[in-house]
Amino acid sequence: MPESPAHPIETLIEARWVIPVEPAGTVLADHSVALDGGRIVAILPTEEARRRFVPRHYHRLTDHAVLPGLVNLHTHAAMTLLRGYADDLPLMEWLKAHIWPAEARHMSPDFVRDGARLACAEMLRGGITCFNDMYFFPEAVAEAALDAGMRAAIGLIVVDFPTAYAGDPDDYLNKGFALRDRLRDEPLLSFTLAPHAPYSVGDDTFEKIATFASQLDLPIHIHLHETEDEIQQSLARYQQRPLARLHNLGLTGPGLIAVHGVHLNADEQALLAAQGCHLAHCPASNLKLASGFAPIASLLQHGVNIGIGTDGAASNNKLDLFAEMRLAALLAKGVSSDAAALPAHTALQMATLNGARALGLDDKIGSLIPGKQADIIAVDLSSVETQPCFDPISALVYAAGREQVSHVWVDGQLRLDNRQLTTLDVRELRLAASVWHSRISTEREQP
């Protein structure tokens, strides 16, 4: 019987290894990924792919691992403009004495748009194709993400105090819902309700958020149990720990994305697991702010879904999920005294599929499966720093760096081509950063 004629497609990516993330630990040697219409249409041995498909765009990546785009489960993209602004301080001093005053002076749609565009460039160059953001003027973050061609979960931020963005909790919510209504059909955008933290949001506001989250089927994205001080404040003010307070107010459940979770006792870990909550683990930020060590090995044993986030560049100071994967794995081993506590394949899953699952996007992204959206990255493992390569998953987590990301596709569209951005002008980004640096530095020096 004669072979079927070759089928035309948009893109064919040939790779030394394809790492689909699910099934867990799978490595497909000498395989190719076929893309068409923004989706993955097939993953198959390269020789067979050459016979079956005629691509418009062909990428032969003979020394590369091809894998799902990374999902940054927690960031404040615009705060890239405050990178290095106030280092080596504990969280509340950092926030109250430095970051919040700087934001009060400079917060505007232009600040957020320029900072988010800078962050998008950094993230794309590092293999991040989707980020979960929490910040003021979320419409400017959405605009930046769309300009970059990135996938983003836009947090509809809520706090109980006025800012340049909104005057009171109802104002925050109304502006957020108006934005969601306006952009809800954008295929690269999704939305979360983003109350900042238990210490900045009151009970009445939380009750409204719980109601809206249920009615609109929106995730809730919140900082939680980040520091011991946060817990002591809650005990003094509400006579209960923050997670217990959220649970009593109806906020726990499969839609809750708890960020940090550094100080969780055994009962709280069990509650998160029983409620189907998710955790955004930000190991570098936790260390830099001296917040502590999240009990990741124990949370994994409880069955909590854990993704990885960078936090903002003001507290990290980089948006690098390769570094976070490695740090997360090493810390989990060290804290638990168990070298197998967080294996390389689990760390990679945390940075991809688990983050997608927390955002309710795991039917679209987070793994390489025919029918899913084509959010894909290629990592060049030919350098001396990653040789020899016995296990490409181990190489990605423990040896490779974001500088080895060579190609990035979002929705099947090439956003990084041989390490060059296709949607953002690096010179323009540098100029904007320079302008903001001068403005912030000048106002900082004024008495």
Identify which of 370, 395, 369 has the alpha carbon closest to the alpha carbon of residue 380. Answer: 395
pTM metric for this prediction:
0.97
pLDDT beyond 70 at 234:
yes
Residues 342 and 400 in one domain: no
Instruction: Give the span between the Cα atoms of 14 and 64, in whole angstroms.
Output: 9
Q: Please state the φ and ψ torsions of residue 382, each to the nearest 5 degrees.
A: -85, -10
Instruction: Give the span between the Cα atoms of 339 and 418, in whole angstroms.
Output: 36
CA dihedral 401, 402, 406, 412 (to 10 degrees): 130
Tokens of 189: 């955008």
Residues 34 and 121 in one domain: no
Residues 235 and 381 in one domain: no
Amino acid at 305: N
In a domain, residue 444? The reply is: no
What strands, in cross-sheet order, belong to the sheet with 420-421?
39-45, 28-36, 7-18, 53-68, 376-380, 405-410, 413-417, 420-421
In a domain, residue 105? The reply is: yes
Tokens of 249: 């107010």
Residues 94 and 31 in one domain: no
Residues 330 and 403 in one domain: no
pLDDT of residue 393: 98
Residue 233 host element (H or E)? helix 228-238
Domain count, the chain: 2
DSSP secondary-structure letter at 373?
B
Q: Strand 70-75 relative to strand 39-45: parallel, antiparallel, unpaired?
A: unpaired
pLDDT of residue 442: 83
Q: What is the CATH number of the domain that holds 166?
A: 3.20.20.140
Instruction: Give the span between the Cα atoms of 257 and 276, in whole angstroms.
Output: 10
Q: Which of 295, 327, 358 is the last residue of a domain?
A: 358
pLDDT of residue 100: 87
Residue-range definition of the domain harbouring residue 27: 7-68+373-411
pLDDT beyond 90 at 188:
yes
417-428 pLDDT, tens digit per residue, is 999 999 999 999
Q: Are 21 and 366 in contact (CB under 8 A)?
A: yes
In a domain, residue 249? The reply is: yes
pLDDT beyond 90 at 10:
yes
Is the dihedral angle over the CA atoms 382, 386, 389, 392 positive or is it negative?
Answer: negative
Instruction: Give the span between the Cα atoms of 259 and 246, in whole angstroms.
Output: 14
Instruction: Give the span between the Cα atoms of 39 and 33, in whole angstroms.
Output: 10
pLDDT beyond 80 at 351:
yes
In a domain, residue 417? The reply is: no
52-111 pLDDT, tens digit per residue, is 999 999 999 999 999 999 999 999 999 999 999 989 988 889 888 999 899 989 999 999
Residues 125 and 159 in one domain: yes
385-411 pLDDT, tens digit per residue, is 999 999 999 999 999 999 999 999 999
How far is C-alpha 244 from the chain's CA centre? 26
Residues 271 and 398 in one domain: no
Sequence-distant (6+) residues with CB within 8 A of 79 are: 99, 115, 135, 312, 313, 314, 315
- Compute the mean pLDDT over every residue in the chain, rounded to the nearest whole number: 96
In a domain, residue 284? The reply is: yes
Rounded to the nearest 10 degrees, the angle between the axes of helix 109-125 and helix 426-445 is: 130
pLDDT of residue 16: 98
Residues 81 and 167 in one domain: yes
Residues 19 and 150 in one domain: no
Distances in Å between the Cα of 247 and the Cα atoms of 112, 134, 269, 271, 280 are 32, 21, 13, 9, 18
Amino acid at 74: H
Q: Strand 413-417 relative to strand 405-410: parallel, antiparallel, unpaired?
A: antiparallel
Residues 108 and 179 in one domain: yes
Instruction: Give the span between the Cα atoms of 221 and 109, in whole angstroms.
Output: 22
Residues 162 and 102 in one domain: yes
- Three-class DSSP labels, 176-198: HHHHHHHHCCCCCEEEEEEECCC
pLDDT of residue 447: 45
In a domain, residue 439? The reply is: no
Q: What is the CATH number of the domain that holds 41?
A: 2.30.40.10
Distances in Å between the Cα of 340 and the Cα atoms of 23, 31, 138, 343 are 19, 29, 40, 6
pLDDT of residue 3: 58
Residues 15 and 139 in one domain: no
Q: Are 324 and 316 in contact (CB under 8 A)?
A: no
Token pair 């209960």 in the structure block, residue: 240
In a domain, residue 427? The reply is: no
Q: What is the three-class DSSP state of 77? A: helix
Identify which of 54, 3, 2, 5 has the alpha carbon closest to the alpha carbon of residue 32. Answer: 54
In a domain, residue 363? The reply is: no
Tokens of 120: 């998008």
DSSP symbols for 93-136: HHIIIIIHHHHHHH-SHHHHHHHHHHHHHHHHHTTEEEEEEEES
Instruction: Give the span between the Cα atoms of 130 and 179, in whole angstroms.
Output: 19
122-176 pLDDT, tens digit per residue, is 999 999 999 999 999 999 999 999 999 999 999 999 999 999 999 999 999 999 9
